[in-house]
Chains A and B, each alone.
Chain A
Amino acid sequence: MYTETQVIKETKEGELVINMGPQHPATHGVLHLVITLDGETIKKIEPHLGYIHRSIEKMSESLNYRQFIYVTSRMDYLSAHINNLACAMNVEKAMQIEVPKRASVIRVLMSELTRIASHELWLGAMAMDLGAFTPFFYTFRERELITDIMEETCGARLTMNYIVPGGLMYDLHPDFQQKVKAFVKQFKQKVTEFEDLVTNNVIFQARTKGVGILSREDAISYGCSGPVARASGVSCDIRKIYPYEGYDTVEFDEVLDTAGDSFARYIIRVKEMNQSIRIIEQLIDNIPEGDTQAKMKAVIKPPKGEFYTRVETARGELGVYIVSEGGMTPYRVKYRSPGFSNLSALDHMARGSKIGDLMATMGTLDLVIPDIDR
């Protein structure tokens, strides 16, 4: 943190330092950006974190291996399901447990539904940042169907806690398949609406094309992942490179673009939703019968050692690193969250551009603040 005198000392003549956030409608949370401006041109951006720090990593050390998973739903709350999956996979890896086939297919289905829900919320919120108010309601209409499916099967709309070490908390709701099929049908019809409203809009294109360019080299050196890196041409989809939970048995494409600007990041996410639909269509009729829970001891005590798993969340690569001492609780838990690395590239992307363009750059980074600031 800068003190007031430090800011004045470091600021050159004619430069202006403004604070964007922590309460700002476009930061979607309590992100605090200290922006140094020369007129309207951005000279420097410094993100200040810590407003929503809940010490989730430290908290996880005092909870046992069944309990700490529910906390991770509160990290990246839009892909809560995938966070839980990463932790459950880590515990299973440590205990060397094979998850039943039915459970892992349902896990993939739920992950893809979560990804679509997350991208839809992002699409609406980003369009709202750029001044289009209507798309927000259109995207939420489709997202509502997914949250209803989640509510019916998992028991909660946002913080599901459906995935537990060894499988799933309980079996699917009988209506699940029928509801997902209805959703897929509606989504395919309505996805053209987003294109009419947002993608082909001249104002939207003018505000995003060529704005916030991130080159391939920079994306790699900043450690970006997910759609942000893929828009710059970095092939980094964990589902393709290190397949988990049977992602190697389904057909889907890793969407890549080379432009690296805000519009490319937008297009990548819209195309990714279609790929997720493709995965769901392949699996929804082929859910194998069987158990949803592998046999496990009541008290989980992994052997001594270090375990690391990674998954692809809606925002990028999430890594979970657990050090076990052989006890009931982990010795150390570390989360590698995608949002933190993506945010670190913001200064580089926005430097030299106008402050109005910052909204487009930041919106397409898809920042979820509780994920950055655990």
Chain B
Amino acid sequence: MFLKDYISEVYTGVSSLLKGMRKTGYYFFHPKEIITEQYPDNRDTLKLAERFRGEVVMPHDENNEHACTGCTACELACPNGTIKIITKFDISPEGKKKKAIDTFVYHLELCTMCNLCIESCPSDAIVMAQNFEHSVYDRSKLTKKLNKPDSKIREGIE
């Protein structure tokens, strides 16, 4: 009986191993079913989802105008103090004082891409961009100024 048990044990052992090997062998001979992506060689064809949260950007139109009113709703919504808005007072041609942003400081090194600032923005001035390759050699490069130089607020946004 001992010999019979021994042989049957060897048989089940070898057969279960072969069963597993058959699966791996299948993929060895069917390389088309392998789904590995060759990053970074596929950078040109790499498509990220449109909602993917990479970094906060402020879109400007062709007249170098943005939609940020400087209401600091995003600054208050941010859990990490990533956003810092410095405001100034613009004087309009009629002589009225109007609040506008001077610098929109964005600390990428502190950002966790939680999307709370974009949700809180009443004028949709900031959006999430899909860029995810953020590594730089100097940490100070991660502190960004989002509004472009000499940009203005778009007409009709309060």
Q: What residues of chain A have their CB less than 8 Å away from a CB belonging to chain B?
A: 63, 66-68, 70-71, 134, 141, 144, 148, 151-156, 159, 161, 164, 169-170, 173, 193, 196-197, 200-203
Contact = CB atoms under 8 A, between A and B. Distances in A.
A41 B20 CA distance: 32
A152 B79 contact: no
Interface in B17-60: 17, 19-20, 22-24, 35, 48-49, 51-53
B37 to A, nearest CB: 9
A153 B51 CA distance: 7
A146 B112 CA distance: 21
Most chain-B CB neighbours within 10 Å: which of A70, A153, A156, A201?
A156
A83 to B, nearest CB: 14
A152 B119 CA distance: 17
Nearest to A161: B114
A140 B114 CA distance: 25
B140 interface: no
B23 A193 contact: yes
Q: How large is the interface on B (under 10, 10 to 19, 20 to 34, 35 or more residues)?
A: 20 to 34
Contact of A196 (B23, B49, B128): B23
Given A156-B52, A161-B114, A196-B19, A71 B79 contact: yes
Contact of A197 (B23, B51, B52): B23
A255 to B, nearest CB: 24
Contact of A155 (B12, B49, B79): B49
B64 interface: no
A169 B79 contact: no
Contacts of B156: none
Given A200-B16, A201-B16, A67 B79 contact: yes
A201 B17 contact: yes
A367 B106 CA distance: 36
Contacts of A154: 51
15 contacts: A70-B112, A141-B35, A144-B35, A151-B52, A159-B112, A161-B116, A164-B119, A169-B119, A170-B51, A173-B51, A196-B20, A196-B22, A200-B16, A201-B17, A202-B17
Interface string B111-137: 011111001000000001000000000
A67 B116 contact: yes
Given A66-B116, A155-B128, A169-B119, 6 more contacts: A67-B77, A134-B20, A134-B24, A155-B113, A196-B20, A201-B17
Given A67-B77, A67-B79, A202-B12, A155 B115 contact: yes
B149 interface: no
B13 interface: yes
A176 B53 CA distance: 18
A361 to B, nearest CB: 23
A159 B115 CA distance: 11
A360 to B, nearest CB: 18
Contacts of B20: 134, 196-197, 201
Nearest to B26: A193
Given A67-B79, A201-B16, A202-B16, A155 B53 contact: yes
A156 B35 contact: no
Can you list the 9 inter-chain pairs with the closest CB atoms, starting with the nearest? A67-B79, A70-B114, A155-B51, A152-B49, A202-B13, A155-B53, A161-B114, A151-B49, A197-B20
A169 B115 contact: yes
A152 B50 CA distance: 7
Contacts of B116: 66-67, 70, 161
Given A66-B77, A67-B79, A197-B23, A156 B17 contact: no
B53 A200 contact: no
Instruction: Choose among A63, A67, A68, A159 the residue with the greatest number of B CB atoms under 10 Å from its CB.
Output: A67
Among B19, B20, B48, B78, the most chain A Cβ lie within 10 Å of the Cβ of B20
